[in-house]
Structure 1
């Protein structure tokens, strides 16, 4: 199948992995390795990908063959102390690029993107190497036997797997790929080989909920502890669904019934394993009008990066910093930017904070997502255009932007507008806030709190 290869963006690369970053004070800097150099071999072994690279440099002694942009090659013998890092980052997963996705999932978010956005937003990767190194979810339906054997032989663990449905027929119908029906046997092989898996279920009403969901969770739960967590997240639907399979979101009543069942599953798993094992996305609790579960329900927050438990963790951090807050500060007005799903949380805490700290004024701006459609409610999918249109002129005031709204490596929103563009558009000064309740409190009051982070 033509889609089973790598994405075209890197096919022009020669052999080797391009150096993307060198840490200050590291061994790599000492060896005069620079951004733009290529790593050709480790211990005279050619590099198929980042996995070979990481395994090679895990040793305390190894030899790198580096090629400079002018074609000059350096052979570097490196010795490092146990646990010491080389301090070198590579630019891509392999010389050929990232393995792309052959699925045509009915709920694929990439298929619901408007035209004219930056190219990387249309990438459909399904690469086990990204799952291993970056925690990206893969479907396993694009793995060949050689790759599955490599995962097992190198014990590439943990993996993050988009399961969606255990039933082969349902999964094939959802993902429109006949290979998707192999999931049960693939999970069996991986878990019996000791590969740990964090599973994800994108839940679509009338497709993989109800009895299908119950079977999926039951079958995954039977493979604990290899199955370390199961996250259930609602399907994300934008307004750009022309010519796509008609889908709908969950109703509040459906979300409430689902959470009732979730509590039963969590209780049963905890009695059997000491872990609640299955965790439901924050959006379900918002939709059902329920309070978020207590911290203990999320165990060690194994799927926080998937947006599962983020609100409860944030609240716990706010509560931790509460007693360290000052009684009064110099007059200060801060604007809070968030998505509509977090509106209730921030409205509630803004009132509490203004009652607690004299001199503090907080204004919450819950931005409706006009760009993707108002059914998309999370802050991470907001655009600078929507923010600018809805908060108006701030008259030089300060506003807080959650880090999750921006690209990881530069201050750009999904619509490629910069933070500076937004500042100029709303006549305000932006502060970027990490996804941490204590950091939020410190930004709000304007200085650091004397809180021990490691408690």
Structure 2
């Protein structure tokens, strides 16, 4: 019980109150301190704080601070991430190749990550006490993986016979004034058809004005890798299914948006369109706030909007004359190729796009964020050989920032032990950006989220700021943190 204090700032309110490193913070205002997030909620709730602590020898004491609703100058021990208890038939972690480092196989199911970073949770680890905590501490909005509201279908999807009634938990949160973003990962024959229609109708019925509403429902095509040995049979979303889905439900997106005051509520992930070979819809198809962007909804459209504005700007001339190889996943390659062609025509640059095959997860995985370093290395070497094998065949190689990013945080305010599964500058297979750059023999930089970011990185490489691929101070980390998304380039 409680959270251990690791450090106490010199001259802080905590030091003045006699609090020392090694003490355990048990209660604030008589309420149990569960973790760092609980501490932040309680310590900032009032101008004065009554604390109850325990020394390492087991003795306890009380401390009173007038903190004005601010922190008191302590660093707390990191919290353990809560792991998922479900056995979802399309769980991506279960489909991971063998041989990666242990942290990549972590299945997080943590309402704190849902609130802080937009991670989706099935709520399987959330009992009534935790649901009450979400309400009490105003952890809103929460992101919930519903998949199906039909209890029988949901049990089939999540593999837990006790988790069929997701609406009971959602209703408890809504009654407490908590807003909820929802998603359904759609697998043909499993939760499409009438089951999907029921899910849509059940969640739409819980949309309302004011607090305590289902804010959105996204549908995302199931993602399957080549590593499904001894796993349940799941049908993949092929281009024909994706096309039928996109054409069937795109008009419904507009219908629900009209009923929602013009704001899109039903959201279709970009992959429905990219898998089908269709152009993504226009800006009005997506939420004004780009809701569920981290879930792959609107990433391509936002990139196109930014790119076309950038190409018209004076800064675009910084690409003039540059010979750049852009590596990306197969899903995004057609879109990126069109943008590169527009930029080349506008400023006289020489950008080329190559879709890297994903040998690590299997070629059915086409998103950029799951490309490993060896996949990108292979694609670059193959391109160089095709161009005659010259060492200086390009001025620079660009890799997707999404393939380098940390999956979650950390932030200065809140971290969870075990959450960060890859460091910035390291690919999923532990190859680093400097190692890739050294192997290719040309500057190798991350894409950033937009062309403007990419130019910043190329100019930093011109100045030697990347030091053979090492990240410089201008490194832009904006991009994806979910496997479903199609971009970065």
Q: Do the aligned residues in 2 keep the contact of 1:16 with 1:47 (CA within 8 Å)?
A: yes
CA distance in 1, matches of 2:136, 2:317: 60
CA distance in 1, matches of 2:147, 2:316: 49
CA distance in 1, matches of 2:7, 2:355: 37
Determine the structure 1 residue equivalent to 2:301.
312
**Bigger relative contact order, structure 1 or 2, given CA contacts below 8 A and separation 6+?**
2
Matched, 1:230 2:217: yes
CA distance in 1, matches of 2:271, 2:23: 44
In the TM superposition, what are the counterparts of 1:193-212 in structure 2 within 5 Å? 193-212=176-195
CA distance in 2, matches of 1:21, 1:342: 48
CA distance in 2, matches of 1:28, 1:351: 59
2:321 to 331, 350, 356: 331
What stretches of structure 1 of length at least 5 have no aligned partner?
Answer: 1-13, 448-455
Determine the structure 2 residue equivalent to 1:297.
285
Matched, 1:251 2:215: no
Q: Give the CA RMSD over aligned residues.
A: 3.5
SS at match of 2:215: strand
TM-score normalized by the length of structure 1: 0.82
CA distance in 1, matches of 2:204, 2:85: 28
Q: Do the aligned residues in 2 keep the contact of 1:340 with 1:377 (CA within 8 Å)?
A: yes
Q: Do the aligned residues in 2 keep the contact of 1:17 with 1:49 (CA within 8 Å)?
A: no
Determine the structure 1 residue equivalent to 2:82.
99
CA distance in 2, matches of 1:168, 1:64: 44
TM-score normalized by the length of structure 2: 0.77
In the TM superposition, what are the counterparts of 1:129-144 in structure 2 within 5 Å? 129-144=112-127
Q: Do the aligned residues in 2 keep the contact of 1:200 with 1:231 (CA within 8 Å)?
A: yes
Determine the structure 2 residue equivalent to 1:55.
41
SS at match of 2:331: helix
Provide the aligned length of Structure 1 versus Structure 2: 423
Matched, 1:411 2:443: no
Q: Is the deviation greater in 363-372 or in 141-150?
A: 141-150
CA distance in 2, matches of 1:291, 1:21: 55
Shift of residue 416 of structure 1? 1.1
CA distance in 2, matches of 1:291, 1:420: 35
For residues 224-279 of structure 1, the C-alpha deviation after alignment (integer angstroms, 9 at most, x for no partner) is: 13111111111111111111112232122221221122223212212221222011
Q: Do the aligned residues in 2 keep the contact of 1:255 with 1:284 (CA within 8 Å)?
A: yes
What stretches of structure 2 of length at least 5 have no aligned partner?
Answer: 385-390, 407-422, 463-489
CA distance in 2, matches of 1:398, 1:428: 6
CA distance in 1, matches of 2:232, 2:397: 39
SS at match of 1:181: coil
Determine the structure 1 residue equivalent to 2:479.
none
CA distance in 1, matches of 2:363, 2:239: 16
CA distance in 2, matches of 1:431, 1:76: 51
CA distance in 1, matches of 2:8, 2:438: 32
Q: Is the deviation greater in 438-447 or in 154-163?
A: 438-447
Q: Do the aligned residues in 1 keep the contact of 2:5 with 2:23 (CA within 8 Å)?
A: yes
Determine the structure 1 residue equivalent to 2:272.
284
Distance 1:175 1:363, change over 3 A: same
SS at match of 2:397: strand
Determine the structure 2 residue equivalent to 1:425.
439
